[in-house]
Amino acid sequence: MVFRVPFQLSGRYAERNRWEVLNGPGDSRVMGSQIIQDEGLVDQQSDKVVLITGVSSGIGVETVRALASTRATIFGCARNLDKAKEALGELLDTGHVKLLFIDQTDLSSVRACAEEFLEKSSKLNILINNAGVMKTPEGRTKDGFELQFGTNHLSHFLLFYLLKDTLLKSSMPKYHSRVVNVSSAGHRYSPIHLDNVNFEGNYNGWLAYGSSKTANIYMATKSSACMEHEVFMAIAYNPGLL
The residue type found at 160 is F
Reported residue count of the chain is 242
Per annotation, catalytic residue among 69, 177, 189, 209: 209
Distance CA 213, CA 181 (A): 9
* Residue 149 CB partners (closer than 8 Å, separation 6+): 197, 198, 208, 211, 212, 215
Based on the residue annotation, tell me whether 209 is a catalytic residue of this protein. Answer: yes
Per annotation, catalytic residue among 56, 171, 183, 223: 183
CB 109 within 8 A of CB 134: no
Distance CA 116, CA 110 (A): 10
Sheet holding 49-53, edge to edge: 97-101, 73-78, 49-53, 126-129, 177-182, 232-237
DSSP state of 237: E
Per annotation, catalytic residue among 56, 213, 218, 223: 213
Q: What angle do CA 213, 216, 218 make, to 5 degrees?
A: 115
Distance CA 23, CA 25 (A): 7
Catalytic residues: 183, 209, 213
